[in-house]
């Protein structure tokens, strides 16, 4: 019957992109866009290789190379060297019907013909005249599975294909309960399972920690003596209290976080509506939400004010430091000027003293018959200068002024 098999071509299409490869292919053969082995490889002007479909999609969005962002147009894309195409086409792939049971693998360029003509698990048209159902190729020579047959139990019409799954649910058939192994009619089974007396269940207080398990029918014996069940009302109460406390704790922590801001706020912006408002609101619990936000605003306002004050103080400090420096500079400059003047003066006075000495000496040497008064004055000066060095300068200076 082989001819009838191969004569029926499968219409199943093969998505090359979804194929699984026998060995993981070399990274050099992967398309940078879809990360699968290249399909119909093309090459760009910048010598990058892509799947033809991938690069077209990419160029639709942006006229740049997806790898190096160089300008690229559709005209810059040419088929890749035939060697690359051969390398990817020869990669061994697994049959796309592997999950249905086909264990074949073949070179990628052969996979389409495998599915179309050979694969036993590809779907082909049913062999029966007039039936347009589909069947796996390996089953094509068996009887048509699309005919309706009657279920021998419920007398319902079921396709042969679906008979197996129907028998699992047929309302006239019974299945075993997984717990007590009693047979039940299919529609009743789920009702029974919900309270099968043989099912092993946990103690009703298991969530409080009771480790006891027993069949459902015996659980009453246990509940009478179970300490956990006796404690259940109290434990319940505690659980509820813990939940409320946790909630409270959470809100308190949130408020605390507001009061100790974790970060300086960049924009005080809409700032603090009225702080008075927020204090009048605090009474009712329904307004907690906007109270929190108001508190937040208020805290931020305070915080920004504090920041402002701090920057003010910093500015003032800087100004004071600047003034200090200026004053120091002025004082030093003035001192220098005084020093200069003083040395200048000292030099001038020295010069004058020399002159005076010279004058006095020349006057003494020269014969002066009629100038006793002046000579006497000069003599006095000479005596003074010899007795007291410290006063000499000022004395001689005074003499100059008199002269």
Q: Tell me which residues touch another protein (CB under 8 A).
A: 17-18, 32-36, 54, 57-58, 61-62, 66-69, 262-263, 266
| Shortest Å, Cβ 154 to Zn ion | 3
Q: CA–CA separation, 87 vs 85, rounded Å? A: 5
CB closer to Zn ion, 116 vs 128: 128
Return the number of the residue (61 or 402) whose C-beta is nearest another protein.
61
Query: 126 φ, ψ to 5°?
Result: -60, 140
Residue 18 interaction partner, one of another protein, Zn ion, none, beta carbon < 5-8 Å per kind = another protein
Quote the distance between the C-alpha of residue 148 and its chain's center: 59
The residues binding Zn ion (CB under 5 A) are: 31, 33-34, 46, 48, 51, 54, 65, 67-68, 95, 97, 102, 104, 119, 126, 128, 131, 133, 144, 146, 151, 153-154, 170, 177, 179-180, 196
CB of 131 to another protein, least distance (A): 35
Buried b (16+ CB within 10 A) or exposed e, 167-193: beebeebbeebebbeeebebeebeeee
Q: Considering beta carbons, is residue 13 or 274 the nearer one to another protein?
A: 13
Closest contact distance (angstroms) between CB of 24 and another protein is 9
Percent helix, strand and coil across the chain, each to the nearest 5? 60, 10, 30
If the CB atoms of residues 66 and 396 are measured against another protein, the closer one turns out to be 66
Angle (CA) 281-282-287 rounded to 5° is 65
Beta carbon of residue 255, minimum distance to another protein (angstroms, whole number): 16
Nearer to another protein, 293 or 371 (CB): 293
Question: What is the smallest separation between the CB atom of 124 and Zn ion, expressed in angstroms?
Answer: 11
Q: Minimum CB separation from another protein for residue 66, in Å?
A: 4
Nearest Cα neighbor of 26 from 105, 91, 108, 106 is: 91
Beta bridge partners of 64: 71
Which CB atom, from 57 or from 352, has the smaller least distance to another protein?
A: 57
Task: Give me the count of residues in the chain.
Answer: 403
Partner from Zn ion, another protein, none contacting 94, C-beta within 5 to 8 A by type: none
User: What's the chain's Rg over C-alpha atoms?
Assistant: 55
Partner whose binding site includes residue 265, from Zn ion, another protein, none (CB under 5 to 8 Å by kind): none
Smallest CA-to-CA distance from 121 within 98, 94, 92 is with: 98
- Report d(CA 335, CA 366) in Å as an integer: 46
Q: How far apart, in Å, are the Cα atoms of 192 and each of 131, 177, 199? A: 42, 8, 11
Quick one: 109 or 303, whose CB is closer to Zn ion? Answer: 109
Provide the H-helix boundaries in 197-226. 219-225
Q: Which two tokens stand for residue 63?
A: 């006229």
Q: Minimum distance from CB of 216 to another protein (Å)?
A: 34
Q: Is the separation of the CB atoms in 16 and 37 below 8 Å? A: no
**Minimum gap (Å) between residue 35 Cβ and another protein:** 5
Residue 130 interaction partner, one of Zn ion, another protein, none, beta carbon < 5-8 Å per kind: none
| Chosen from Zn ion, another protein, none, partner binding at 146 (C-beta under 5 to 8 Å by type) | Zn ion
Instruction: Decide whether 69 or 391 has the Cβ nearer to another protein.
Output: 69
Select from Zn ion, another protein, none the partner in contact with residue 349, using the beta carbon and a kind-dependent cut-off of 5 to 8 Å.
none
Measured from the CB atom, the residue of 103 and 334 that comes closer to Zn ion is 103
DSSP letter, residue 26: P
Beta-carbon contacts of 222 under 8 Å, excluding residues fewer than 6 positions away, are 203, 212, 214
Shortest approach of another protein to residue 33 CB, angstroms? 5
Residue 364 interacts with which of another protein, Zn ion, none, CB < 5 to 8 Å by class? none
Q: Nearest distance from residue 234's CB to Zn ion, in Å?
A: 35
- Residue 8: contacted member of another protein, Zn ion, none (CB under 5 to 8 Å, by partner type): none
Task: Give how far the C-alpha of residue 238 lies from the chain's centroid of Cα atoms, to the nearest Å.
Answer: 39
Residue 144 touches which of Zn ion, another protein, none (CB < 5 to 8 A by kind)? Zn ion
Question: Is 396 within 8 Å of 385 (Cβ atoms)?
Answer: yes
Which of another protein, Zn ion, none interacts with 32 (beta carbon under 5 to 8 A by kind)?
another protein
Quote the CA–CA distance of 359 and 35 in Å, as a whole number: 113
- What 8-state DSSP symbol labels residue 19? P
Q: Which is nearer to Zn ion, 217 or 292 (CB)?
A: 217
């Amino acid at each position: 019957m082989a001819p009838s098999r191969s004569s029926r071509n499968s219409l199943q299409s093969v998505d090359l992109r979804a194929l699984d490869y026998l060995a993981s292919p070399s990274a050099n053969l992967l398309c940078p866009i879809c990360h699968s082995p290249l399909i119909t490889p093309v090459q760009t002007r910048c010598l990058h290789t892509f799947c033809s479909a991938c690069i077209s999609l990419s160029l639709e969005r942006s006229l740049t190379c997806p790898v190096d962002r160089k300008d690229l147009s559709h005209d810059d894309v040419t088929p890749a060297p035939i060697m690359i195409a051969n390398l990817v086409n020869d990669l061994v792939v697994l049959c796309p019907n592997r999950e249905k049971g086909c264990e074949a693998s073949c070179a990628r360029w052969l996979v389409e013909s495998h599915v179309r003509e050979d694969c036993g698990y590809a779907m082909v048209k049913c062999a029966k005249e007039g039936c347009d159902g589909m069947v796996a190729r390996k089953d094509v020579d068996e009887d048509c599975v699309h005919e309706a047959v009657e279920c021998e139990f419920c007398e319902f019409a079921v396709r042969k294909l679906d008979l197996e799954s129907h028998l699992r649910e047929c309302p006239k058939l019974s299945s075993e309960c997984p717990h007590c192994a009693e047979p039940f009619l299919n529609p009743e089974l789920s009702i029974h399972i919900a309270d099968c007396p043989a099912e092993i269940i946990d103690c009703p207080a298991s969530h409080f920690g009771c480790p006891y398990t027993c069949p459902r029918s015996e659980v009453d014996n246990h509940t009478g003596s179970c300490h956990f069940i006796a404690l259940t009302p109290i434990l319940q109460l505690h659980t509820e209290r813990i939940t409320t406390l946790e909630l409270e704790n959470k809100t308190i922590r949130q408020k605390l976080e507001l009061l100790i801001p974790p970060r300086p706020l960049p924009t005080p912006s809409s700032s603090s509506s009225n702080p008075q408002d927020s204090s009048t609101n605090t009474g009712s619990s329904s307004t907690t939400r906007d109270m929190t936000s108001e508190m937040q605003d208020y805290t931020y306002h305070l915080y920004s004010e504090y920041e402002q004050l701090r920057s003010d103080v910093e500015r003032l400090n800087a100004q004071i430091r600047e003034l200090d420096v200026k004053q120091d500079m002025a004082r030093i400059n003035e001192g220098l000027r005084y020093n200069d003047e003083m040395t200048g003066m000292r030099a001038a006075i020295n010069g004058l003293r020399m002159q005076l000495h010279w004058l006095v000496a020349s006057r003494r040497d020269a014969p002066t018959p009629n100038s006793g008064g002046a000579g006497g004055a000069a003599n006095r000066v000479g005596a003074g200068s010899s007795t007291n060095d410290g006063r000499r300068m000022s004395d001689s200076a005074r003499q100059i002024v008199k002269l």
